[in-house]
Amino acid sequence: MRHNLRVNGARLMSRLERLAAAGARADGGVDRLALTDADREGRDLVAGWMRALGLEVGIDAIGNVVGLRRGLEEGAPVMMGSHIDTVRTGGRYDGALGVLAGLEVVETLAEAGVVTRRPLAVAFFTNEEGARFQPDMFGSLVFTGALPLEKALATVGVDGAVAGEELRRIGYAGSAPVGKPDVHAYVELHVEQGPTLEAEGFTIGAVEGVQGISWTELTLTGQSNHAGTTPMRMRRDAGYVAAEIAAFARRLAREIGGNQVATVGALTLSPNLVNVVAERAVMTVDLRNTDNAQLIEAERRLAAFVSETAAAEGVTVERRTLARFDPVAFAKPLVARVEAIAREFEFSVKRLPSGAGHDAQMLAAVCPTCMIFVPSAGGISHNVEEYTAPDHCAAGADVLLRLVTELAE
């Protein structure tokens, strides 16, 4: 049904503000790692808002939360959603905007007395970030059947915690059947987390797909030794090999070019002492590319470099794949509708790929899926300075409102 409804931007920003208090950092950022007490606080708040809006709230065995709004007819809902867990140095928009904009859409429709033909759903998926438990997006992976529930529950986090135990501890080991309800279509509003929309002056991003992601953990083992007495020719220095790998990753991204990116985000040396040659280095390498062939080439070259460099230093290597997702393309007709609806509102709009991973890339395997982006100030995200202007948040939510009501007819 056609309508000219617009969301209440102030109400959306007020909920964003209140959710940001769950895991608030002294520096204004948000630390709401998956399955922590802060995550529970955020979950309780959002599930409470769902219930206050009359949604039927279901919690599944991996802690995914789905609020259902009945339609005039039974059947698979049109789903909006994202995640509410954050990285340790997160902002208030990554994930939260997509979930709270979904609630805002529901409240706007309720105020206007509009009931859609199909049911609507608002969801948040467990552990989208993957900062504590890998892989990332494991809640939506389980929801779509791409990761066995037991495997996700058994995941040991970077802090040694076990996901299933943490889920029970915070009271979100639910009983709703995993992967239900079936979803008619999924639309996720999200901040771009990159510089493109702001730099080029666009308000809306019609996201064409998500790039491929490859996360590897490397455990390098050499020999601790005296920093002063050990001749260089005798060293088996894991710290040196780790540093070479980090520098190689940067060269590799530059040489492959295109959309190739490479990041060494985590690196721990032991014994990590000023006068001891490092015996061990545990590090992660995050490689991404929209082109899977190039991503595979990057993985191959990195693996070869790691083997050569470690062998030359007498250091052994253990590899663990933390995540590996091929690039995903969103449903072309939905991408076109995001673009057209943005233009109906006279919002400037650009098609672009997503550099970040999202739950939408998992939902795309089971239903027509698309994403709506809004600009990130300075392209900053996974950083306490993350910011998106209120009018951009409202614009994204308006496009979400119109697209979802269209899909629900």
Task: Name the residues that contact ligand HGY, by CB under 6 A.
Answer: 128-130, 136, 356-357
Closer residue to ligand HGY (CB): 130 or 222: 130
- Considering CB distances under 5 to 8 angstroms, the limit depending on partner class, which of ligand HGY, Mn ion, none binds residue 239? none
Q: In whole angstroms, how far apart are CA 297 and each of 253, 259, 301?
A: 11, 13, 6
Residue 193: CB minimum distance to ligand HGY, A = 7
- Considering CB distances under 5 to 8 angstroms, the limit depending on partner class, which of ligand HGY, Mn ion, none binds residue 264? none
Query: Is 135 a binder of Mn ion (CB under 5 A)?
Result: no
* Contacting range for Mn ion; rule: CB under 5 A; set: 25-33, 95-103, 285-293, 401-409: 95-103
Q: Find residue 207's DSSP bridge partners.
A: 352, 371
Closer residue to Mn ion (CB): 256 or 328: 328
Closer residue to Mn ion (CB): 82 or 221: 82
- Considering CB distances under 5 to 8 angstroms, the limit depending on partner class, which of ligand HGY, Mn ion, none binds residue 103? none
Closer residue to ligand HGY (CB): 83 or 235: 83
Residue 400: CB minimum distance to Mn ion, A = 15
Residue 277: CB minimum distance to ligand HGY, A = 33
- Considering CB distances under 5 to 8 angstroms, the limit depending on partner class, which of ligand HGY, Mn ion, none binds residue 386? none
Closer residue to ligand HGY (CB): 382 or 392: 382
Residue 333: CB minimum distance to ligand HGY, A = 26
Closer residue to ligand HGY (CB): 19 or 50: 19
- Considering CB distances under 5 to 8 angstroms, the limit depending on partner class, which of ligand HGY, Mn ion, none binds residue 357? ligand HGY
Residue 95: CB minimum distance to Mn ion, A = 4
- Considering CB distances under 5 to 8 angstroms, the limit depending on partner class, which of ligand HGY, Mn ion, none binds residue 95? Mn ion
Neighbours of 87 (CB within 10 A): 21
Residue 88: CB minimum distance to ligand HGY, A = 12
Cα separation of 167 and 39, whole Å?
Answer: 10
* Contacting range for Mn ion; rule: CB under 5 A; set: 86-94, 196-204, 207-215, 340-348: 86-94
Cα separation of 146 and 176, whole Å?
Answer: 18
Query: Is 94 a binder of Mn ion (CB under 5 A)?
Result: yes
Q: For the segment 140-169, give every residue that binds Mn ion (CB under 5 A).
A: none
- Considering CB distances under 5 to 8 angstroms, the limit depending on partner class, which of Mn ion, ligand HGY, none binds residue 29? none
Tokens of 282: 């545990």
Tokens of 54: 């009359």
Closer residue to Mn ion (CB): 90 or 222: 90
Q: In whole angstroms, how far apart are CA 354 and each of 259, 318, 366, 372, 383?
A: 11, 31, 19, 10, 18
Residue 120: CB minimum distance to ligand HGY, A = 25
Residue 70: CB minimum distance to Mn ion, A = 28
Q: Tell me if 293 sits within 8 A of 299, measured CB to CB.
A: no
Cα separation of 162 and 99, whole Å?
Answer: 26
Closer residue to Mn ion (CB): 81 or 95: 95
Query: Is 139 a binder of Mn ion (CB under 5 A)?
Result: no
Rg, C-alpha atoms of the chain: 22
- Considering CB distances under 5 to 8 angstroms, the limit depending on partner class, which of ligand HGY, Mn ion, none binds residue 130? ligand HGY
Residue from 67, 91, 95, 355 binding Mn ion (CB under 5 A): 95
* Contacting range for Mn ion; rule: CB under 5 A; set: 89-97, 139-147, 165-173, 340-348: 89-97
Pairing of strands 204-210, 349-354: parallel
Half-sphere CA count of 367, side-chain side, radius 13 A: 26
**Residue numbers of the site for Mn ion (CB under 5 A)?**
94-95
